[in-house]
Amino acid sequence: MKWILGVAIAVLLVGGLAYASLTTGVVVQAAAAKRESIREFVDEQAQTRLPLTHLITMPYDGRIDPITLPEGAKVTKGQLVAQVVPLDTELTLQEAQANISRLDASIKESGDKTVEKTGLKQSLEYVASMQATVAAAEARVEAGLAKLNYANKNLGRIRALRETNSASEDQLNSAEVQQVQADVDYRQDQLVLKALQSMMAATVLVPTVVEQYMARKDLSVAVLENEKRQAEVRLRRDERDRTRGQMTSPVDGVVLERLETNERSVAAGTVLLKIGDLGQLEIEADILSQDVVRVREGQAVEIYGPAVGPAGAKGKVAKIYPAGFTKVSSLGVEQQRVKVVVALDDGELRRLEAAQPLGVGYRVRVRIFTAEAGDAVVVPRSALFRGPDGSWQAYAIRGGRARLANVKVGLMNDERVQILEGVADGEQVVLAPESTLADGTRVTPAEK
């Protein structure tokens, strides 16, 4: 009798469970389609950045003074932030100035022709004097020649008279002596004239030599003036280097990074400091190329994540780069992405800074809203799945049963989707349906 009672109880239990399943159905999570607004968006990781980071670099090879400004230090436009050792630039400048002073003195010395002009004047007067002396010597030679001719004629006449005894022996001797004396004087006058003419030839060259020397001094002055111009260029270069050696901040901002600290020799072009204006902070995101085609400048952006606090921030798309690039994902997949720059709305940055500091390179997330629809029939995204042909489908709960519905979708985001056809406003849909769920299965919805 006991085993008969047990079998009866088991039959009753199985029957009860079967009845319950036929009357209540499978319990599923469900949500009702509602009319509300929906926005389509692209959600991606991003980071803060500055549109321009100012690099303070070494202007030329030299020795840098210690840089005392730490990272985060505030600086103002025009403030001295780094400098070449001042003594080095001053010594170079003084050397250039001394070289110009030396050349000025040399130009003045070479340009002074007082002595040469006096010498030229004296040489011209000496030439005139020599010309007069030569003229006198020439006249003396002419006189000597006349005297010699007279002595020769007189000697011939006396000799003729002597032959006829018309002249005495003494007269003949006297005429011969006079003729010899006249001949000697004439020859001596000729020698003196030739000597004076030689001296005259040399004397005439003296003014030319003086003039050539003065011309050569003019050339020396020209060379020195050219050297001075070169020295002045070097001086201007050294003055420029002294100015460049005083490196100042180009903007009001903060020190982002200090790459040199101690005094040491540094090569030209070495980066010493990085300075930026945090008031120009913006967001940069690498968007997948298939998503960026829906992004337009001016679209609203929601910025969220721990770096910006629970309230997040709002901005707008400011720039879309024209070229994409390849980026390897964390899973090792190559992806084509495009940089998109987001500008914070007015007042957002000040609000964020008041709550917590925000710097360069901070990780955030952005949600770029690419489209919006109002008064749309909307269901949770998890209600949709792909059918065998790739079309969108959902299970709508109708008459207590799950009915497979082909749906036409509109706007879609990570959480919700707009239904254009297939599900009516107010109808319930199954969320994340199990693969075992079939069309017509009796279900009991549990509202989520």
* DSSP track, 61-124: SEEEPPP-PPTT-EE-TT-EEEEB-HHHHHHHHHHHHHHHHHHHHHHHHHH--HHHHHHHHHHH
pTM: predicted TM-score of the whole model, two decimal places:
0.62
What is the pLDDT, as a whole number, of residue 447?
A: 66
Bridging pattern class, strands 443-447 and 26-32: parallel
Q: What is the mean pLDDT of the chain?
A: 86
Higher-pLDDT residue of 175 and 35 is 35
Q: CB–CB of 429/423 below 8 Å?
A: yes
Token pair for 307: 């770096």
**Is the pLDDT assigned to residue 51 strictly greater than 80?**
yes
Higher-pLDDT residue of 293 and 202 is 293
Express each pLDDT in 133-149 by its tens digit: 888 888 888 888 888 88
Q: How confident is the model at residue 42 (pLDDT cuts 50, 70, 90)?
A: very high
Which residue's entry shows tokens 């879309």?
320
CATH of domain 54-84+245-275: 2.40.50.100
Which residue's entry shows tokens 């340009």?
111
Return the ∠ at Cα 104 (arms to 98 and 110), rounded to 5°. Answer: 135
What is the pLDDT, as a whole number, of residue 303?
A: 94
Listed by start position, the domains of the chain span: 25-38+375-447, 42-51+280-371, 54-84+245-275, 95-243
- Residue 195: phi, psi to the nearest 5? -65, -40
Q: Does domain 25-38+375-447 have CATH number 2.40.420.20?
A: yes
Express each pLDDT in 368-395 by its tens digit: 998 999 889 999 999 999 989 989 999 9
Token pair for 137: 């010597």
Higher-pLDDT residue of 167 and 68 is 68
- Residue 336: phi, psi to the nearest 5? -90, 125
- The DSSP letter of residue 442 is B
What is the pLDDT, as a whole number, of residue 8?
A: 46
Q: Does domain 95-243 have CATH number 1.10.287.620?
A: yes
Region 353-376 average pLDDT = 89
Region 166-189 average pLDDT = 84
Region 111-116 average pLDDT = 74
Express each pLDDT in 6-25 by its tens digit: 444 544 444 444 444 444 67
**Is the pLDDT assigned to residue 166 strictly greater than 90?**
no
Cα–Cα nearest to 283, from 54, 53, 43, 46: 46
CATH of domain 42-51+280-371: 2.40.30.170
Which residue's entry shows tokens 């790459």?
259
What is the pLDDT, as a whole number, of residue 24?
A: 61
CA distance 32 to 379: 7
Region 301-322 average pLDDT = 92
CA distance 163 to 142: 32
**Is the pLDDT assigned to residue 80 strictly greater than 50?**
yes
Return the ∠ at Cα 251 (arms to 248 and 254), rounded to 5°. Answer: 90
**Is the pLDDT assigned to residue 199 strictly greater than 80?**
yes
**Percent of the chain predicted with pLDDT > 90:** 42
Higher-pLDDT residue of 198 and 65 is 65
Express each pLDDT in 394-439 by its tens digit: 999 998 999 999 999 999 888 899 999 999 999 999 999 998 889 8
What is the pLDDT, as a whole number, of residue 216?
A: 76
What is the pLDDT, as a whole number, of residue 323?
A: 92
Please tell me whether residue 412 adopts helix, strand or coil conformation: strand
